Amino acid sequence: MAENEEFALENQLHEQYALNDNNRNSVFMSFIVGIIALFGFYGFVFVNTNKRGFNSEYSYESWNFNIDVFLLMSFVTIGILFFLTILAIYLGYALRRDQFIIYNIRQKRYKNGTEETKVKIKEIFGEIYSPYNKDCSSFLPDFYNLFYWLFYISEIFIFITAILKICDFVNTQCSFLNCKDILYIIFFMPFHIIFIFLTPLFRRCYYKKYKCSVKTG
């Protein structure tokens, strides 16, 4: 009777693991749709940023935005990308953490099985479902690791395009550059650099947490 209850509990843990994974993927894909729309807005503002020569105004008829509007848009975009990279790291780490539980259940269930059973289990799951022996580049599952790099490269892309837009703005319309524009540049651009440098630090931090889980798992 006790064995049946234990088996039922293990089945429930497997089912909960699958549900948690599906829920995380659903939430994550919703963010992907949102980020596509965000890039659309960013591209629109980037293309239509143009100094008109009168105190940070922009015309709704011609859609010519001033540099301060572009900087605000780039700040919001890179901030959301930074949040998504952290989300990808956290969800990937959470999946690995759950895999430790499932792996230990599987090992416990079949530790007293025949050699043939153990070989079959190893053939079915292989090393890909093992949470152990992962380095910093692979401790995140492939799905989340892919999006981590996609978001991180996008952060760098936003930073580079912002620098190019500012350089173009200064070179072509320097006579229109005022103190307010300079203050916007000084205020917003350091955040771009901070986000880019913080992202790999967060990854390293969660990798250390993963290593601790390996030791205690």
Q: Provide the residue type at 124 as one letter.
A: I
pLDDT, average across residues 124-129: 58
Q: How far apart, in whole angstroms, are the C-alpha atoms of residue 88 and residue 19? A: 18
**In this structure, are residues 159 and 46 in contact, taking their beta carbons and an 8 Å threshold?**
no
Q: What is the mean pLDDT of residues 28-51?
A: 82
The domain total for the chain is 1
198 pLDDT band, cuts 50/70/90, is: very high
* Residue 119 confidence (pLDDT): 61
- The vertex-143 CA angle with 33 and 131, nearest 5°, equals 145
Q: Which amino acid makes up residue 100?
A: F
Measured CA to CA in angstroms, residue 212 lies from 28, 113, 198 at distances of 26, 30, 21
Q: Which domain holds residue 124?
A: 2-216
Q: What average pLDDT is seen over the chain?
A: 77
- At residue 192, the pLDDT reads 94
pLDDT in tens, 130-143: 667 788 888 888 88
pTM, two decimals, is 0.76
Q: Give the pair of three-digit tokens for residue 30.
A: 């919703």
* pLDDT tens sequence across 52-80: 433 444 444 455 788 888 999 999 999 99
- Residue 170's H or E segment, with its range, is helix 142-173
pLDDT of residue 162: 93
Q: Of 89, 73, 76, which is closest to residue 150 (Cα–Cα)?
A: 89
Tell me the Cα Rg of the chain.
25
Q: How sure is the predictor about 24, in pLDDT bands with cuts at 50, 70 and 90?
A: low
Structure tokens at 65: 């935005």
